[in-house]
A and B are shown apart, each in its own frame.
Chain A
Amino acid sequence: MLGRFAFGPRPGDVQRVTKMGADKWFEAQLKPNAIDDASGMRAVASYAKSLEAPEKLGALYAKDKGGKFDKLDFRKLAKDAQMSQLARYISSERQLQEVMTDFWGNHFNVFARKGKVKIHANQFLETAIRANALGRFETLLRATAQHPAMLIYLDNARSRRDGKKKRGLNENYARELLELHTLGVDGGYTQKDIIEVARILTGWTVKGKGAGYVFNPKMHDRGEKKALGKTFAPAGEQEGLALLTLLAAHPSTARHLSTKLCARFVADQPPASCVKVAEAAYKKSKGEIAVVLRAIFQSPSFWAPKHRNNKLKTPLEFLVSAVRALGGHPDGSPKLAQHLGSLGQPLLMLPIPTGYPEEEAAWASSQGILQRMNIATLMATGSLPGATLALDTVVPEQTSAQDLAKVVGARILGQVESSKTVGLIAEQVKNTRPKDARTMALALALGGPDFQRQ
């Protein structure tokens, strides 16, 4: 459970949660604002500059070429922005909110490198995504639809009503809104629907110089639209709001989102029974994300033994869970973001709107798994650039290879002494120099196949 609804346990978490009761832990996680989060706030402090308002970022991250150029040091901003998210994935007590920020951040993918998205992307994750991650889906949807990051990324900001001679309409956002964000590719819409939706959303744009969302009536198509079986009489911005309400309530959306959520929390090929339960919860609660999550949490599918450790961690999940397992926190530098990049999942840097994939096949490359082994080995030495780790607390001195394997097995892998992996680790550690024993044991635990599962 802690591997799915949190980014893995920190030292002592398993005991704490067991004592508290999983139900109680889960319910508390559904109310993140009631959870005291000194740890998360401390971790993100070093990267707070990247969370400033977009119009300030130009000055804060100016490339200083002897005062001549005023260009944005995007590389630096990007790393800080990535870290501002990673820091909380690692250190926040509001773990479920962080997991859902990752989930929805992928679902509503934006690519920071595209034009002005550079200065809007991080605020997008804060105000549109994280703030709504456990709320009503319609609120989340509307927040993304009215955010400069999304409007620029998917070109809606420059979509305008067709002129007499000139084509002005841009369908990009309309298509992804239906295909990826709400109904799903088989959700029952046509190419004509996409065009009509694009017409409805003309005028949903960004104030000059990328300041903020604004509805521009001059760009808006004032005719009547017929989309998804409904007629939209001319009503300016209201048309789009009504559209979003319709989409959020649509049964295809319920199914599409439920399928994705069950894929994340239960199995890459989500069991039909789980999807059904989640769908019903969505419909009954009119799209309350917390209610859907609770339904999944309480479903027999979630707790079924065959759905334990049946998924491969994404690079993000691997890195964050490993740092957490070692009692680690970010050290104020951007290096953890670089490690994540080397594993193939740099945050906010995916050009395609589908977001990073969830399924095992996408991440099971020789390249990727080898890199995990290397990062695991680096972590095991206790000095991973980018994080401070608490190795001595997690794995204190042991006298024998067997004891070492036992402690590592229990604390990192949650396994008993008699497990095959623990036995293998003990055997391998016996072959190594005593001063390397702990490093070896930890490297094998973190880089081995078991830790890659969740």
Chain B
Amino acid sequence: MFHRRDLLKGAVALGLGQATSRLAFAAPGSPEQNTLVCVFLRGGVDGLSMVVPYHDPDYYKARPGIAIPKPGTRKGSAIKLDRRFGLHPAMESLQPLFQRKKLAVIHAVGSPHETRSHFDAQDYMESGVLGRARSDGWLNRCLSRQASPLQGVALSGDLPLMLRGPSPTIAMSGMDKFGLRARKMPLEKAFGSLYEQGQTAGAKAGRDALEVVRRVKALSKKTPAAKGYPKGATGARFADVARLIKSDASLRCAAIDVGGFDTHTGQGNGERGRLKNALEPLAKSMRAFDEDLGARMDRVVVLVMSEFGRTAHQNGSGGTDHGHGTAMMAMGGGVRGGRVYGKWPGLAKDKLHQGRDLEVTTDFRDLFWEVTQKHLGVSDVGKIFPGYSGGKALGVMG
């Protein structure tokens, strides 16, 4: 029975300078080598303008001021995905990925739960359990109780609910900033000596923390951030996730938050506005991430989610309010891209959820379960999503 510390030490020895040989030992396509990156668009992304149902005349009726024009030569018009849907032009970076079948879109997906509260909806989507508050997340439940916290990393100041739970995980706002803010004092070594002996859970946690700090420092030095990412927090976070993957830190799950999607006012259209400003760095970062990882992208899936969508009709402030169904994306290895999945319910008044929102025709757990089962190799659906017993597979993961 390994002591956790031995596992960490072992991983360090393998990690530094033996990247390719370690990959060669792993069985091809074994889920133990795969990484799932969950990107949470906070605020409830307007799926209807992120993935434009340009074939549906009700979309244009509902949004006289802020609809994205049909694909065409006009500036700010949707980028054609297929005969029904197009991408918001701010996401043009993703078009080649869709064409190369590496990016899949899922529409009218979301939570069966009624709530339109950010906090409740985010909590249910992160805990994977509807209607009851929990203190641990579904992503944490996919991880090992024994591994290094570097198996599950959140690129943010606080650990999101998705990654909280009994499996060791850790949050860092950035690899280069992470660690002991030691103010030029030799505190790492000093704390190390104090935490060396203790056998309590607290002491072990301290030891592990310092071990992670040391590893991340070494990995930071060894693998600097690649260029090509857009400026700003989102780009930096994607760049750091890529670094962790490239340096073989045994990263299994990562979580990135992207904000700015709660577009009650000034949502804008294809040419300008809050939604464009929020989507552009996301799309550019995803593209840069794919290019940065190169062949390693075969082992990585990026899953883009949001707690709900927004009202079909625009409001009086050039924006939209909290809705229900939204659009999500999956990109990477094992993803059957180049398609828009999900059953389109339509935007006619009698087809809207409670007469106001895009209906949910795919439970988000159907999508998440398909991805975690195929990509991470987990098999106990009741453990990852208590209260859910599986649904029909979408086919997103082939």
| Chain A residues near B (Cβ < 8 Å) | 111, 113, 312, 341-342, 344, 351-353, 360-361, 363-370, 373-374, 377-378, 381, 421, 424-425, 427-428, 431-433, 436, 439-440, 443-444, 447-450, 452-453
Contacts and interface: CB of A to CB of B under 8 A. Distances in A.
B288 to A, nearest CB: 28
B202 A449 contact: yes
Interface stretch (B82-90, B185-193, B381-389): B185-193
A377 B183 contact: yes
B191 A444 contact: yes
Contacts of B157: 342
A213 to B, nearest CB: 24
B183 A444 contact: no
28 contacts: A360-B201, A364-B200, A364-B202, A364-B204, A365-B170, A366-B149, A366-B170, A366-B212, A367-B149, A369-B205, A370-B179, A370-B206, A370-B210, A370-B212, A374-B180, A377-B182, A377-B187, A424-B193, A432-B185, A439-B183, A443-B187, A444-B191, A447-B191, A448-B195, A449-B195, A449-B203, A449-B206, A452-B206
Given A428-B193, A449-B194, A366 B183 contact: no
Contacts of A449: 194-195, 198, 200, 202-203, 206
Contact of A367 (B133, B171, B180): B171
Nearest to B196: A424
A341 B202 CA distance: 19
Tier of interface size on chain B: 35 or more
Interface in B114-141: 119, 123, 133-135
Contacts of A428: 186, 189-190, 193-194
Contacts of A342: 157-158
Contacts of B213: 370
Contact of B201 (A353, A364, A421, A431): A364
A341 B159 CA distance: 11
B59 to A, nearest CB: 30
Given A377-B182, A377-B187, A444-B190, 18 more contacts: A111-B133, A312-B202, A351-B123, A353-B133, A364-B200, A364-B204, A366-B170, A367-B149, A370-B179, A370-B180, A373-B180, A377-B180, A424-B193, A428-B186, A428-B189, A439-B185, A440-B187, A448-B194
A351 B129 CA distance: 14
Given A366-B209, A444-B191, A452 B202 contact: yes
B190 A440 contact: yes
Contacts of B158: 341-342, 344
B143 to A, nearest CB: 13
B208 interface: yes
B145 to A, nearest CB: 11
Given A342-B157, A428-B193, A440-B185, A351 B133 contact: yes
Contacts of A453: 200, 202
B168 interface: yes
B187 A360 contact: no
B194 A312 contact: no
Interface string B98-128: 0000000000000000000001000100000
B75 interface: no
Given A312-B201, A453-B200, A113 B119 contact: yes
A365 B1 CA distance: 21
Nearest to A115: B117
A113 B120 CA distance: 10
Nearest to A113: B119
Given A312-B201, A352-B135, A436 B206 contact: no
A364 B205 CA distance: 6
